[in-house]
Structure formats: C-alpha cells, structure tokens
A and B are shown apart, each in its own frame.
Chain A
C-alpha cells in the first residue's frame, strides 16, 4: 500500500478533483434553489431546480419525449450514413487524383468554417418545412471533416503496409480494401465522429429554428407556451443526450485507435 508524503492515498487524490467538480455543481443548484425561495432570484425567470427535476416526468408522459428523441436520432442517423458514404467517397476520390486534391482541399476546409446553418431559410425553400431540410443541413455541415480526415487517413498509411501489398502484387482495388482502407479507418472515424457532432448540433438547432421535428421543436413549443420548468428540463435533456452521444463516440474512437 503506497501513501505519499502528504499522507493521502493516490487513488483518493485522483477522485478528489472530480468530486469537487460534482460537489460544486450540486452546491450551485442548491444555492439557486435557496435564492429563488428567499426571493432574491425571480422565479418567473428562473424556475426552481426542484420544479425542473419534477417536470422531467411530465416530459416523458405528456410531451412524448422518447418519440421526439427517436425522431431526432433517426435524422442524425440518416445524416450520419450520408456523410459517411459521401464523405469517404469524395475523400478517396480526392486522394486518388492529386490534382483534384490540390485544387479542392482548401475549398473543403473553407466550407468547413463557413456558417452553413445560416442558410436554413434557403433549405426550407428548396426542401420545404420537413425533416429533409433538417437532414440536409446536418449533412452539409458535417461533410467537410469526413472528407478531410479520409484524405489524411489514406495519405498517412505507413509505407511498409503499402509495400507489403505491392510485394503480394495486389490490384488497385485489393490494395484499397485490404491495405489503405483498414489502415485509414481510425482516422476516418475521427472525421465521422466530428461530423456526427456537427450534424447533431445543426439538426437540433434547425429543429428549434423551424419549429419542426424532435427535441429542438419540443424546446421551442414549451418556450412558446411559457412552460418555464418544462423548457429548462427539455434543455437539460438535450444537453444530457449530446454529452452521452459525445462520450459514446469518443469511446468508439478509442476502441478503433490502433495500440502503439
């Protein structure tokens, strides 16, 4: 058993910081509850945290939040499949033809930093006020990282692996499917992960803005009804979903990453 100079067991020390973080969060929630109850904070602007917690049940029973979650998740999934197929295809194409890569890579990077979600009125005119507007915004916003990471992944395949393929006299197709693609997969997944995060942000945001669809629309609906506790609870639910989504993708990326 090892105990350091300060007399604290190392494993206890490693838990101390996260405990302080979580404890501070709980204390600030309790503080807000007290400040509202004593009247220092206006409860018509900030609802009681206990009311917010209580309204979670209402979200499940009355507001059909599970169904809305499935709706948003299916939009994300559709956009995710589209960015993976199109992004990897475009990335492979650009990597294969270096002239195309030289001509277009900077454009793709500029496209990645463009505020694309602002074009949502344009998408509404083209696709109408339906799920396709939301999916297409998610798709276009999330496409650049997949393209860029596919190019990076294939270009950085180790020379040894490529030479092994050559020594086995693999055809170009075999070389791609058996050497280049598996070697680039962890980097491609980084792009897909980033793309899925961008897609989720843009999909929920567009749902909120055009008042259509799943979780984003729920927040808009509750805010328009001035259901304060419900609005805050729905926002907390969306935060929870995006944090979980982010964590799952991170775990998957770690699982795919090769061991050095």
Chain B
C-alpha cells in the first residue's frame, strides 16, 4: 500500500520543481536583458559587454599563466592574513571568553572597533610594513582579527557548564581544559568566526592590492580598469566571486556548519 502511494507520488510529482523553473526563468531573463542592453547602444560602448565577449575573456583569463601567478600571490597573502589574524583572534577570544572581568574591560572596544572600515588603516600599514605584500597581509590580518575574536569569545561563554564541571571534576589542567573541553566544544563558533574572518581578510587584502600594488588579483582588476578592458574586468570579477563563495562554503563544510543548520 505504502509502495503504491510512493509510486503514485512519483508519477504525479513534476520532473522539475516550480522553484527550479522560476530560477531558470530569472537567470534567462537577466541574461536576455543583459544581451539586449549590450546591443542597445544606451550605455557607453563596453560598459555592458556582450555575453560572448565576456565568455571569450573568461577563456583567455583561465588559460593565462600570469593570472595563476597573481592568483597565487593573493592566495598566499590571504592565507597569511587568516593564519596570523585568526590565531591572534582565537587567543584573544579565548582569553576574553574565559575571564568575565577582562571581557567587561576590553570586549566593548573590540565590539565597537569591529565594524569600522579597515581600509582606512592602509596608509598606516604602508608606513609600518612598506609597499610590498607585507602591508596587504597586515591589512588582511587586521580585518580578520575582530570577527574571529568576537565569535570565539561569544562561543566560549556558550559552552555547556556541565562539560566544564566534568573537566574540573577530573582535575584537568588549564592546557587540558583548553584542548579537551573548550576547543572541541567551540568548534562551530571558531569555524564560523574563521569563515567570517576569511571574508574580511579577502576584502581587506584585495582592496589593498587595488590601491597600491604591482601583483595580485586586486592589481589585475585595477589594471583592466586603467586600460578599459571591461570584458576582462567582468571575467576577473566572476572568477573572484566564484572562488570567494566556494572557499567560504568549503570552510563551512569542513567545520560541519551545514549539519548544525539541519539539526
């Protein structure tokens, strides 16, 4: 009986859901609108290039060795920023989360400094670290530090008190408490903080590259602007957005964040 019901459901259910159909319709509509705008002559030539020329630019970009060199430079800068800023954020977050007094004394400063625009610190970073990659890493580090520290501190305060009491009843040392209780219990807030930190480090590093650099993806983007290579700029932004969103969801998957949402 149950089998028959399931079969009937399978027969009556549409092959493509209405949501998917609407999504496809929206995408096709946007592409059609884009193409007609490109050929309309309403905007300056190449401000909205044709889809074909963007596709061609995308193919050229993906086969260009120079692009991969610059991608490597940016990836290395972002990784360094995430490692330094993430580590510093983790340590400060653990300290503030573990001590209520320190949290009350210093956390408001982090909380209010967190949302300030970090790019304005770039002149200071140039003075401190020079015009090379170091200043980009420093800006990425600064951008990444705040979300990681605030997330870890908040996550630490949300640890189940039972787990802490279990650790204490086993007379665990501070190092054991951190390694066996705090860090495993805070896996999700840490990964979430790292994910946010990655986004901020990426923006900070790339913006710094667009402002003053001679290598990296930010430099390539501003180069395409200087020579008015609009299809190239669109191609570069598309690849960058795909990479950024992909890396973001990868960090989330590695940390099992999707499982929490499902539960």
Contact = CB atoms under 8 A, between A and B. Distances in A.
A binds B: yes
Contacts of B218: 118
A232 B124 CA distance: 8
Interface string A16-29: 11101100110000
Contact of B116 (A102, A202, A220, A243): A243
A126 interface: yes
Interface string A222-240: 1100001001100100110
Contacts of B128: 45-46
Contacts of B82: none
B115 A231 contact: no
B116 A239 contact: yes
B206 A122 contact: no
Chain B facing A: main interface SS? helix
A114 B224 contact: no
A117 B240 CA distance: 12
A243 B109 CA distance: 9
B123 interface: yes
Contact of A209 (B18, B124, B199, B211): B211
A121 B232 CA distance: 12
B233 A243 contact: no
Nearest to A247: B112
B interface residue count range (under 10 / 10 to 19 / 20 to 34 / 35 or more): 35 or more
A56 interface: no
A17 B113 contact: no
Given A99-B19, A103-B22, A104-B26, A119 B237 contact: yes
A122 B202 CA distance: 18
A197 to B, nearest CB: 5
Interface in B12-51: 18-19, 22-23, 26, 43-44, 47
Contacts of B123: 219-220, 222-223, 231
A104 B19 CA distance: 9
B115 A113 contact: no
Contacts of A86: none
Given A232-B124, A243-B112, A115 B202 contact: yes
Given A45-B128, A103-B23, A246 B115 contact: yes
B207 A126 contact: no
Interface string B121-158: 11110111000000000000000000000000000000
Interface centre among A17, A99, A222 (most CB of B within 10 A): A17
14 contacts: A16-B101, A104-B23, A114-B241, A115-B244, A118-B240, A121-B221, A125-B225, A204-B119, A208-B211, A222-B123, A231-B124, A232-B124, A239-B116, A242-B116
